[in-house]
A and B are shown apart, each in its own frame.
Chain A
Amino acid sequence: MADNDRIVRVPLHEVAHGRTGDKGNRVNISVIPYHDEAWPLLLEQVTPERVKAWFAAKGAGTVTRYEVPTMPAMNFVIEDVLQGGVNGALNLDGHGKSLAFHLLSMPIEVPARLALHPEKAAG
């Protein structure tokens, strides 16, 4: 097996980028692969169930995943995650601006060639 075919477990940040948007007490987070070839792996591993569990400390409610295969990109809508939104939230990041980077710290398993820094192991 060629070295770049070996499976590595890395933060999603090594495989995809994205950003957070907010409306009221929900956020949306886009996830866009650096390599289109990673798209099926994202569909398989970055599931709404896993995302909801990843945001459990924030009290995440329903998580919906929308897919735009022509980009390709996925868009997660996470309900109730702002704990009051910009209106009543006590947290520092009332808009959830940083939360894409929380999602991007989730581990994912991919062939080394699809990770920007394959040596960067997920915690």
Chain B
Amino acid sequence: MTATTVHIGCGAGFAGDRWDAAVPVVASLARRSGPRYLMYETLAERTLALAQQARIENPAAGYSPYLERILRPVLKTAKANGIRVVSNFGAANPLGGARKILEMAREDGVAGLKVAVVEGDDLTAVMTEGDIRGHDPVEGIGMPDGKLVAANVYLGARPIADALALGADVVVVGRCADPALALGPLLHEFGWSLDDLDRVAAGTMAGHLLECGAQVTGGYFADPGYKDVPDFGHVGFPIAEISADGTVVIGKADDTGGLVSHRTVKEQLLYEMHDPSAYLTPDVTLDISGVRVEEIGPDRVRITGARGKPKPPTLKATVSFEGGWLGEGEITYAGPNARRRAELAIEVLRTRVRDLGTNWPLRFDLIGTVATFDGDGGDLRSSRSWPDDGEYRVRMATHGGDKRMAQWIADEVLSLYCSGPAGGAGVRHRIAPQITTASILVDRERVTANARLVEEN
């Protein structure tokens, strides 16, 4: 029998999200009936490149380093209640992630857990580096230099639905379009055809609203006195109810804080969206330019009117390269004449880096003015005057190819303790390897995604 309503909760909106967010989501889903799913989105553009680097160092690694911490607290309850899990926490090694989940299931006495992987997103398995580099980045920036780290195409929802048809309790994906984590279960439960553009669009919209976790329930939203969010420290993660006709209702986990309102939903609908009438995904071109957003109860918002247009002819892929080193350092000046002491520190840093004989780009911020909004030239700060007294934090940042030079430049902030202006305090300095990414468009025929069940080693 085909379902009438599918419930999909979200347990993570990015790799660093709250480890315990899924617990109330699963507890809520366990009290409901019908097909129920838990999705986690844990794979930002560069997260996958970092995972690929981890896999090079250790072939068993390369899945999300947070997999165990976010899944273990709910795995047993989810399985006992028939709540199926779909996530891209496979990152650069879905098979390794699946084996880790099977190991956790054995340790925790979760009997009969079926785990599937979706593979086929890794372009380096089917294309040469020269072939990959031969594609023009869509950003129009030219293909970056540096060693190729990873190239992964955004898969659609079909292979996820295939994995569910195999009976998987947990589906482990690498790179896929984030909304596909919700659309896959909907294709499976409702039997929607991918040619049913308006329904596929509605499912994609549901996934888009869920994929950032608390961003639709008060996270990235709260603004005291303007947009207040109750019990914000316990913000509940979202649960969407999707009907066979494509109606989407966004709610949240029971007994949690947070807020679902027409405002939280509108902000998240437009998040990371460019043309609202043409949001490109592997499965459909989503048009939300005519949607209706209605509050239908406490923390319940209904969204209708998503329209689908044919999917784009190509698939998007993210290509990642080693991108040199970021060096940065910060130091604080407080009290009388703090601004002038901070500005003197900047002058000293300029002199010291020039003496190192480099022409690396330097950016200086005076945190406490308009550093966050300013450009690298500091024009915004220069356009206004700032009080001499107060609290200012100097920040210097640089970027280049040589690790040792990045360290030497950052070290110049540390040495201000003894050799810089009076009262310099609280130095933090570091260097960090960078990943450069570009997006390319790949012919669909080049990509074959497949789903299969995995046994523990």
B305 and A32 contact, CB distance less than 8 A? no
Assess the B275–A66 pair: CB atoms within 8 A. yes
Main secondary structure of the interface of B (DSSP, over half): loop
Q: Is the CB of A93 within 8 A of B276?
A: no
- List A residues 58-82 near B (Cβ within 8 Å): 58-59, 64, 66, 68, 70-71, 73, 75, 77
Residues on A with beta carbons closer than 8 Å to the beta carbon of B276:
66, 68, 75
Q: A17-B263, A19-B220 are in contact. Are A90 and B270 (CB under 8 A)?
A: no
| A7 smallest CB distance to B (angstroms) | 21
Provide the bound-state CA to CA distance between A59 and B131, in Å.
Answer: 33
Please measure, in the bound complex, the distance between the C-alpha atom of A77 and the C-alpha atom of B274, giving whole angstroms: 6
If the complex has contacts A19-B220, A68-B276, A116-B226, are A75 and B270 also in contact, measured as CB distance less than 8 A? yes
| B2 close to chain A: CB less than 8 A | no
Is the C-beta of B127 less than 8 angstroms from some C-beta in chain A? no
A21 in contact with B290 given A91-B363, A92-B395 (CB within 8 Å): no
B434–A57 CB distance below 8 A: no
Partner of A73, one of B221, B270, B290: B270
By beta carbon, the residue of chain A nearest B220 is A19
Write out the residue numbers on chain A whose beta carbons fall within 8 Å of the beta carbon of B434: 87-88
- Of residues 360 through 380 on chain B, the ones whose CB sits less than 8 Å from some CB of chain A are 361-363, 365, 367, 371-377, 379-380
State whether the Cβ of A45 lies closer than 8 Å to any Cβ in chain B.
Answer: no
Cβ < 8 Å to A, chain B residues 253-312: 263, 266-277, 288-293, 305
Main secondary structure of the interface of A (DSSP, over half): mixed
Question: Do A87 and B227 have beta carbons less than 8 Å apart?
Answer: no
Task: Name 29 interchain pairs, CB-CB below 8 A, sorted by A.
Answer: A17-B267, A19-B220, A19-B267, A21-B273, A22-B272, A28-B274, A30-B267, A30-B271, A32-B267, A57-B377, A66-B275, A66-B289, A70-B289, A70-B290, A70-B292, A71-B293, A73-B266, A75-B270, A77-B274, A83-B375, A83-B376, A88-B323, A90-B361, A90-B398, A92-B367, A92-B372, A93-B372, A98-B373, A116-B226
List 5 extra interface pairs beyond A30-B271, A66-B289, CB under 8 A: A17-B267, A57-B374, A57-B380, A68-B288, A70-B292
Interface residues in chain B, defined as those with a beta carbon under 8 Å from any beta carbon in chain A: 45-46, 139, 141, 144, 220-221, 223, 225-227, 263, 266-277, 288-293, 305, 323, 326, 361-363, 365, 367, 371-377, 379-380, 383, 395, 397-399, 434-437, 439
